Amino acid sequence: MERPLTKNINPNRPPLNLKEYEMTGGYLAVRTVMKMEPKEVTELVKESNLKGRGGAGFSTGMKWSFVPMNEHAPPVKYLVANADEMEPGTFKDRMLLEGNPHQLIEGMIIAAYAIQASTAYVFLRFAYKQAAECIIKAIEEAYAANYLGENIQGSGYSLQMYLHTGVGRYMCGEETALLNALEGKRATPRAKPPFPQVSGLFGKPTIVNNVETLCNLPHIINNGADWYKSLSYSEDGGTKLYGVSGHVNKPGCWELPMGVTMRELIEDYAGGMKAGYKFRGVLPGGASTDFLVEQHMDIKMDFRSVATAGSRLGTGTMIVLDDRTCPVGFVHNLELFFSRESCGWCTPCREGLPWIEKILLSIERGNGSINDLEILDQHTKLLGPGNTFCALAPGAVEPLQSALKYFREDFERHVYERKCPYG
């Protein structure tokens, strides 16, 4: 089984320096793309079926193709790597950032060349101190070897790259809010259109891609689109970094073919549930996805299959709910986080999420009523897609709406017994 993203990552030693990375074939893809037309690079990535690994699952090559590239296009363009990994339960990008930072930088150079960006930024989560050190060192080495800077490898193409550490807001996961933060403004989402590909950072065409997405690019360039598609068990190309957390025997993160089943992930790779715990449900793609339950265990973990089951693949990092953890308390903890992280830009999110959190806290403490469940049901619709300025609130109510669907008896027991039955 090929694992291109993680084959050179060893947690027992520091990440590869530039010379070591070059010995594994590193930066060969940069030399290759410099001999290609930018449009050829975009078409190759489009053909590979690489979909965004940040959660949206949109075609990467298609996204790039929206950037103006004709003679009337703005001369200044930007590329941004979204390394603001603030989704609860998600830790996949951290492994790439700390384990092989040159892989990210090489991928960013390829993406920047494809859209002819002159400047690139790594927008990093504030808490990732070790990752910041790794990235700074790798950028410095790349400049010294002329993989960054002026006239890269004599190609005539130039690229400047910078690390930007965010102050720590979940809202920065939304790409236009990230761009506002990068400009030194409040991290609130922008109205679309115009989309960032046309008017993004400082009003110039900008592509924002997730860390894992960008790390795939050197391997696609070196091995081709057909090879990349052959790695997958589904229509989505490549491998995927999957994570599992919760009361399982071996929580962790693994690179596996896109489309591996949920059962394989939980039972084979995560070692199944710990002794004394039984599986009840799972958030398949981080905190802002709908619960799936036992009946879904054999679905493929790819974008279409998980959506068909009623949830989202998201980041592919699973949070397992067991029979000894209260679903109401579980969901309350998530809604508390989301209510605090709302940027306050639109009323449904600003007012609705704190109200949801207060109702859930009341139910958890044994002070709720059956009418509260109806109010929660209403809020999952009022804060759903199309009713808010961005996707924060719709994502925040996904675990709630599915918990009310699959674990409603637990909510009702809290009301009738006037306490949390889990103690």
pLDDT higher than threshold 90 for residue 72: no
Residue 408 lies in a domain: yes
Query: Does residue 106 share a domain with residue 70?
Result: yes
Q: Tell me what pLDDT residue 14 has.
A: 95
Same domain, 282 and 351: no
Is the pLDDT at 71 greater than 90, yes or no? no
Looking at the fold, whether 180 and 305 belong to one and the same domain comes out as no
Summarize the confidence of residues 133-161 as an average pLDDT. 97
Owning domain of residue 345? 327-417
Same domain as 90, residue 193: yes
Tell me the pLDDT band of 56, cut-offs 50, 70 and 90: confident
CATH number of the domain at 150, please. Answer: 3.40.50.11540
Q: Per-residue pLDDT for 418 more than 90? A: yes
Q: Are 185 and 179 in contact (CB under 8 A)?
A: no
pLDDT in tens, 163-189: 999 888 899 989 999 999 999 999 999
Domain boundary among 266, 287, 322: 322
pLDDT given at position 124: 97
Sheet holding 317-322, edge to edge: 252-257, 239-245, 317-322, 279-283
The reported pLDDT for the residue numbered 168 is 81
Q: How many domains does the chain have?
A: 3
CATH assignment of the domain containing 338:
1.20.1440.230
pLDDT at 68: 96
User: Is the pLDDT at 55 greater than 90, yes or no?
Assistant: no
Supply the CATH number for residue 286's domain.
3.10.20.600
- Alpha carbons within 13 angstroms on the beta-carbon side of residue 74 total 16
pTM: 0.95
- Give the end of a domain, one of 266, 292, 322: 322
Q: Which amino acid is at 389?
A: F
Residue 303 falls inside a structural domain: yes
pLDDT tens per residue across span 327-359: 999 999 999 999 999 999 999 999 999 999 999
Q: Round to whole Å and give the CA distance between 171 and 412.
A: 33
- Flag whether pLDDT at 81 surpasses 90: yes
Q: Give the residues across from 261 on adjacent strands.
A: 300
Residue 279 has pLDDT above 90, yes or no: yes
Residues 6 or more apart in contact with residue 354 via CB below 8 angstroms: 339
pLDDT over 90 for what percent of the chain?
95
User: Cα separation of 110 and 145, whole Å?
Assistant: 16
Q: Please tell me the least confidently modeled range out of 70-74, 102-106, 148-152.
A: 70-74
